Amino acid sequence: MGRGKCFGQGGWHGKFHGRGYRMTAGREAVINVLSSTKEHLSADEIFIRARKLNPDIGLTTVYRTLERLSIMGEIHRLDPGDKRARFELAESEKGHHHHLVCTKCNRIIDYDDFIDDEVKLLSETEKKLSKKYDFKINNHLIQFYGECKECAE
């Protein structure tokens, strides 16, 4: 039956190998957790869910996997007002989006309305800034801060 499932869904095995890293059960669990949610989870929230897929995984491995994926550009690290970072898959079925961050409850709301103009303007600005400041731009962040409906009343 051949080599079996040499590549997991999405070619993660290959992505790791291409950079000299290895695919492990722990990493697979973290990736599966991130793949199966639209939420913005913190490291320990990911840890709790990953444990259900693989009870042997340690929190340390979650942190290390998140760091690796971040370096690989496969996830985005979000820093809301509170001090725990949150993560989301860069290439999710959510597609490109920006964030509304509630400064009261730290909830993060995704939006992808109205962003076509934003993205267009951004990529133009990116080019200009890149040239002027001799800065290699890899990524951008747009966030609006305020109070969400629940916190406002």
Side chain identity at residue 26, one-letter code: G
- Of 22 and 136, the one with the shorter C-beta distance to its own copies is 136
Residue 147 in the binding site for its own copies (CB under 8 A): yes
Greatest Cα pair distance, the chain, in angstroms, is: 61
HSE-up (13 A, CA, CB side) for residue 68: 21
Stretch that binds DNA, among 12-20, 100-108, 119-127, 141-149 (CB under 7 A): 12-20
Question: Is the backbone of residue 63 left (phi > 0), alpha (psi -120 to 50) or beta?
Answer: alpha
Supply the minimum distance, in Å, between the C-beta of residue 55 and DNA: 9
DSSP assignment string, 35-88: HT--S-EEHHHHHHHHHHH-TT--HHHHHHHHHHHHHTTSEEEE--SSSS-EEE
Give residue for tokens 């039956």.
Answer: 1
Residue 1 in the binding site for its own copies (CB under 8 A): no
Contact map string, positions 45 to 84, toward DNA, x by CB under 7 A: -----------xxxxxx-xxx-x---------------xx
- Of 34 and 57, the one with the shorter C-beta distance to DNA is 57
Residues making contact with its own copies (CB under 8 A)? 77, 79, 81, 83, 100, 102-103, 109, 111, 113-114, 117-118, 121, 125-126, 128-129, 132-149, 152
